[in-house]
Amino acid sequence: MAKRSRQAPSLPSDDNSDFSQDSDGDPDFGNISQPATQSLLQDTRVRKPRSAAVASTAKRRAADAEDDESDGETTVKNKKARRNTIIGKLEDLDFEVEKSEVSASVTKTRKSGKALEVESVSAKTTKSIAKAPEKSGKDTPKRKRKTKEEKAAEKMPLADRALKCAFKIGAHVSSAAGVENSVTNADRIGANAFALFLKSQRKWESPPYKPANVTAFKKFTKTKNYDSRKHMLPHGSYLVNLAQKDTEKAAKAYTSFIDDLKRAESLDIGLFNFHPGSTLGEPRDEAIERIANALNKAHKETSFVRTVLETMAGQGNVIGCKFEDLRDIIALVEDKSRVGVCIDTCHSFSAGYDLRSPETYRAVMKEFDEVIGFKYLSALHLNDSKAPFNSHRDLHQNIGLGFLGLSAFRNVMNTKEFHDLPMVLETPLEDDDVSVWAKEIKLLESLVGLEADDPKFLALEKEYADKGAAERKEVLDKLEKREAEKGEKEAKKKERAEKKAAKEKLKDEKARKKPPKKATGTKRGKASKGASDSDSSELSELETESDSDASSCGGKH
C-alpha cells in the first residue's frame, strides 16, 4: 500500500483542509491490477471505524443466534458460520474496533445462555484488534468512539435528490454492516444512482446474505425510490481476474465472480461492473477469449444481470485500456444483451482518451461509438485524474481539481447518450466525509445545460482549477523527477554495457595478439571493429526499449 499524505482543496464553500489518501503507487499485478487509489478508497470506505455499526451488527447476530437456538436445532456448523460472519464483519469494518463494544454483545448473549459461542467471538475480536496497528501503520492514532450526537449527525441527509434530473449521478457508497445500508447511504448524499460492493472485495469468500438483509435492501430500494435494475452498479472484487490462465486460479476467480452476480440478482440489481482483467504476460487474444468464455458461462448460470466491462487506465498487461480490448471481448460474448461497458473518465483520460475540450471529447465519443457502440454503454465512473493525460496511471481526483478539469465534466454532463445511466463518483474523501460526494453531485448537476463559453461556467472552472493547481504541480514535479531518475539509470546501464563490451574486445585483442609478430596489423582491424560493435550494442539497447514499449498497453491514444 502506498504512503498516505496529500493536500487537496475541498469542494466549494469549504475551507481548504488536509486529506489523506493514497496518492501514489503502481498497481499490484499479483493476480490482477489493483488501482492503488481505488484500493485505498475502498480501504477507507470499508475500514472506517464504525464502532456503533459493529456493535449493533454483533448484537443483531447475537439476537439471531438466540432465535435460532430457541429452535433447539443449532449445529456446530451454523454456529461456526455465525461466528465467522461476525468475525468477517469485524475484520471488514474496523481494524480499530474497541473491545468494550464487542463486550456489549457478549454480555447480552451470555444472558441468553450463549456464553461459549460468544466468548469465542470475543477472543477472535481481540485478536483482530491486536493485528490492527500492523495493518494500518505504526503511527495510526486510535479513533475515539462516536458520541450519540455524532451518530445522529451521520444519519442526517446531506442533500436532496434531484429526482427530475435526466442524469443519474451518485457515488460508490459503503454497504458496511448490511448491504441494505448502501441504499440509505446513497439517499443521504442526494444520489440518484450508486455503486456498492456486494461482499468484501479483499476476501475470496464471504458469508451469504441473510434473508433479513435482502428484504431490507428491497424495502429501502422501494421506499427511497431507486430503480435497482437500472441505477445500481455494484463493483466487482479486485482479486478477480477472469483472464487468468492457471486453471486453479481461474476457477477461484470465476467462483467469486458468479457469487457476486448471484448476489446482484438476489437483490434485483440489473448491472454488475468489473475490471476486465490482466493478461499476466500471456498473449492478449487468448486472455480476451478466457474473459469472454467466463462471461458466457456466467450468463448461462444467471438470468438477467448485465456484466459491465470497465475502461482501464492501462498499466502493463491490463486489459481494457483501449476501446478495442472491450470490443474484442464483446465480439466473443454470445448473449450481447448481457454485456455492457462503463467508461471511467479518469481511467480513459489516463489511457490516452482526451475528454477535456469539446472537440477532443467529441472525437473520443465518436471513436467509442465506432469501436464499441453506444448501445453497449451501461454506466460511467466520474473521476477527475491526479495524473496527467496519457500517463497510464490510475489516480482518482475530486471533480474539477485534477488534470481533466471541470471542462471535461461539462462535456460529460451535456451528453444526451448518458441520460438515465448510472454515473458514479469514486473520488477521494477526507476522513470518510461523504459530504464531499453530496457537493460533487450537486456540482455535476449544475453543469447540465451550461455552454463552454458561459461566463458562469468559466468562473467555476477557474475556481476549481486554482484549487487543484498546487497538487497538480506536485504530481508533475514528481513525475518529472521520476523520469529524470529513469533516464539516469538507463544512461548508467548503457555506460556499463559499453564498458563491458570494450573490455571483452580488449580480451579478444589480447588473445589474437598471442603470435607476437602479427601484432601491428591486428591493431587497425580492431579499432574499426570496435566502433561497429559499439553501434550494434546501442542498437540492441534500442530494440530492448521498443520491445518493452510494445508490451505496455497503449501510448497510442
Would residue 472 show up in a list of annotated catalytic residues for this protein? Answer: no
Would residue 344 show up in a list of annotated catalytic residues for this protein? Answer: yes
256 near 240, Cβ under 8 Å? yes
CB of 40 to Zn ion, least distance (A): 13
165 near 445, Cβ under 8 Å? yes
H or E element, residue 464 = helix 455-513
CB of 308 to Zn ion, least distance (A): 10
- Tell me the three state secondary structure of residue 7: strand
The H helix count followed by the E strand count for the chain is 17, 13
CB of 274 to Zn ion, least distance (A): 8
Verify binding: residue 299, Zn ion, rule CB under 5 A: no
Considering beta carbons, is residue 117 or 426 the nearer one to Zn ion?
426
Binders of Zn ion among 433-462, rule CB under 5 A?
A: none
With both helix axes pointing from N to C terminus, report the angle between 405-412 and 358-371 in degrees, rounded to the nearest 10: 50
CB of 31 to Zn ion, least distance (A): 15
Q: Total number of residues binding Zn ion (CB under 5 A)? A: 4
CB of 142 to Zn ion, least distance (A): 31
Query: CB under 8 Å to 353, separation ≥6 — which residues?
Result: 364, 367, 557
Distance CA 362, CA 383 (A): 18
Catalytic one of 43, 180, 426, 440 = 426
What stretches of 20-171 show up as alpha helix (H) in DSSP? 36-47, 51-70, 76-93, 99-111, 115-136, 148-155
Considering beta carbons, is residue 37 or 221 the nearer one to Zn ion?
37
Verify binding: residue 344, Zn ion, rule CB under 5 A: yes
Would residue 172 show up in a list of annotated catalytic residues for this protein? Answer: no
Look at strands 193-195 and 271-274 and give their pairing.
unpaired
CB of 272 to Zn ion, least distance (A): 12
- Residue from 381, 393, 442, 472 that binds Zn ion (CB under 5 A)? 381
With both helix axes pointing from N to C terminus, report the angle between 76-93 and 115-136 in degrees, rounded to the nearest 10: 30
Please give the grid coordinates belonging to residue 503. Answer: 573490455
Verify binding: residue 393, Zn ion, rule CB under 5 A: no
**Which amino acid, residue 468?**
G
Considering beta carbons, is residue 381 or 393 the nearer one to Zn ion?
381
Would residue 238 show up in a list of annotated catalytic residues for this protein? Answer: yes
Q: Which residue is nearest to Zn ion (CB)?
A: 381
Considering beta carbons, is residue 306 or 381 the nearer one to Zn ion?
381
Distance CA 216, CA 407 (A): 40
Considering beta carbons, is residue 98 or 344 the nearer one to Zn ion?
344
Task: With contacts defined by CB under 5 A, name the span among 5-13, 142-150, 305-313, 436-444 that binds Zn ion.
Answer: 305-313
Considering beta carbons, is residue 42 or 185 the nearer one to Zn ion?
42
Binders of Zn ion among 407-436, rule CB under 5 A?
A: 426
Would residue 235 show up in a list of annotated catalytic residues for this protein? Answer: yes
CB of 33 to Zn ion, least distance (A): 10
Would residue 420 show up in a list of annotated catalytic residues for this protein? Answer: no
Considering beta carbons, is residue 356 or 381 the nearer one to Zn ion?
381
Distance CA 244, CA 251 (A): 9
Residue closest to 272 by CA, chosen among 250, 315, 301 = 301
Catalytic residues: 202, 235, 238, 275, 310, 344, 347, 381, 394, 396, 426
Can you give the binding site for Zn ion, defined by CB under 5 A? 310, 344, 381, 426
